[in-house]
Amino acid sequence: MGAMREVQNQSPAAVGLPEARLLLCCARTSKDSETASRIKALLQEDIDWARLLGLARKHRLTPLLCWHLGVGNAEAVPKHVLEQLRAYFHHNSLRNLQLTRELLRLIRMFEARGVPVIPYKGPTLAAFAYGNFALREFIDLDILVHKQDIPRARELLTSMEYREQNRLTRAQETAFLESQREYVFVHESGSVVELHWAVTPRILSFPLDPESLWGRVGKVAIGGDAVLTFSPEDIMLLLCVHGSKHLWYRLAWICDVAELIRVTETMDWERLLDRASHLGAQRMLFLGLYLANGLLGAALPRTVLEKLQTDPAIIPLARQVQVWLFQESGEETDIFARGRDDASSFHPFRVKIRERLRDKAAYVARATLVPTPEDWELLPLPKPFFPLYYALRPVRLSGRYGQRILTWLQHSSKQ
C-alpha cells in the first residue's frame, strides 16, 4: 500500500484551520492510535466550537464528530457542545432506524408483488461501508427497479400511502422517462422514497446501462434480512460519479469512498479501472480516490496510485474541490454555485471532470438543450407544441447564465 500526500501538502489555507483539520480527523469510523493522538493534540488548540459544529452540519459529519469526541475526549469538549453533539447523534440514530425499518417494509412488499428492487446509498451503504447505521446521515431511501416495472412500482407506493411529487402531463411523462432517472414519493410520516430506473441523470452522459448492475449484485445484512446491493466495484464507481456530479462540496461523500476502500479488501481494482475507462468515467473515479487518499488517508494499492498520477488534471481539480469544501460563509466566488445541487444546471467543473471530448460535448449539449421539469413547470405547453421546449430552454438559460458565463470566460482568459 502507498500513500499520496499532494492533496494535503498543496491544500488551501482553510485546511490549516484547527476546526477543519479536526473534522478531517473525525471523518472516519476507525479509531486508531495515530488518529486519536492527532485529535487530542488538536483539541488543545483554540477551537472555535461554533465553526466546528457548522462545518460538521454542512458536511453531514456530525455523527462521526460525536463518535470521536464523545468518548475518550469528552473532558476537552465544552459541556454545551457535547450536549448538542449527543442530542444530534441520538436524533440521527432514531431517524436512521425508522428509515431502515421502512426500507425493509418496502422491500418485502415489492418482493411479495414480484417487483425486484435494489436499494442503494442510505441504509445499505451505512451497513456495508460503515458497519453502524448511526454513523452516517441519510434523509431518503433510494430504490432501483427495472424500467418496465416503474408503473407497478408507482402503484405499489401509492397503495402504501405515498404521495408522488411529480405532476406531469402525459407528454411530459414520456419525456421525463427518457431524460430523467427517478420519481420522488413522500409519506405522511416524512419518509421520502426516490424510485429510480437509472442511477445517474442522462445529462451527465455517463453511459452505464442500469440493467448491467443487476448481474453483479451481492447482499448485505440489514436488521436480520439479506438485502441486495451493488458490487463493491459498482458502488465505488457510482460514489465517485455522484460526488463529481455535485462537485465534491460535501466531505461525507469523500468519507463514503474512504470507508468503502477500508472495508473492501477484495476490491477488484483492475476491473474497476477498466470499467471506468470504458464508460469515460476514469477521471471522476481518480478524483474521488485521490481525495479519499489525500484528505482522509484511505490506503490504495501502489498500482492505483501510479495511475492516478498519470492524469495531470487531477491535482488542479482536487485543489478546486478543497476550496469549496472549506470555504467560509460569505466567501463564495463560484458564479455557477447553483449547479452544485442541481445536476441539470450547467457547471464548467462537470466539463473538466470528463476525459473524453465526446462526453464533454454531450454534457454541454444536454445541459443547454434538453428540457427539464423546471422548464415544463415554468411554461406548460400542449403536446403538439412540446418540441418548442428544446428551443425555449437555451433562451431561458441565456437569461439566467449569460452574464455569468461572460464573466467566467473573461476571468479564465486572464489566468
The per-residue pLDDT for range 320-374, each reduced to its tens digit, is 999 999 887 655 555 555 556 666 678 889 999 999 999 999 988 888 777 666 6
Task: Dihedral sign for Cα 380, 383, 385, 391, please.
Answer: positive
Judged against a pLDDT cut of 90, whether residue 281 lies above it is answered with: yes
Per-residue cell: 341: 445541487
Look at residue 262 in the predicted model and tell me its pLDDT.
Answer: 96
Look at residue 14 in the predicted model and tell me its pLDDT.
Answer: 58
Judged against a pLDDT cut of 90, whether residue 110 lies above it is answered with: yes
Does the model's pTM come out above 0.85?
yes
Query: How many CA within 13 A on the CB side of residue 238?
Result: 18
Confidence of residue 6 (pLDDT cuts 50, 70, 90): very low
Look at residue 339 in the predicted model and tell me its pLDDT.
Answer: 55
Domains by residue range for the chain, with CATH = 99-230 (3.30.460.40), 334-415 (no CATH)
**Are 389 and 381 contacting, i.e. CB atoms less than 8 angstroms apart?**
yes
Judged against a pLDDT cut of 90, whether residue 10 lies above it is answered with: no
- Looking at per-residue pLDDT, the higher value among 411 and 7 belongs to 411
What is residue 327's DSSP assignment? P
Q: What angle do CA 97, 102, 103 make, to 5 degrees?
A: 95
Judged against a pLDDT cut of 90, whether residue 313 lies above it is answered with: yes
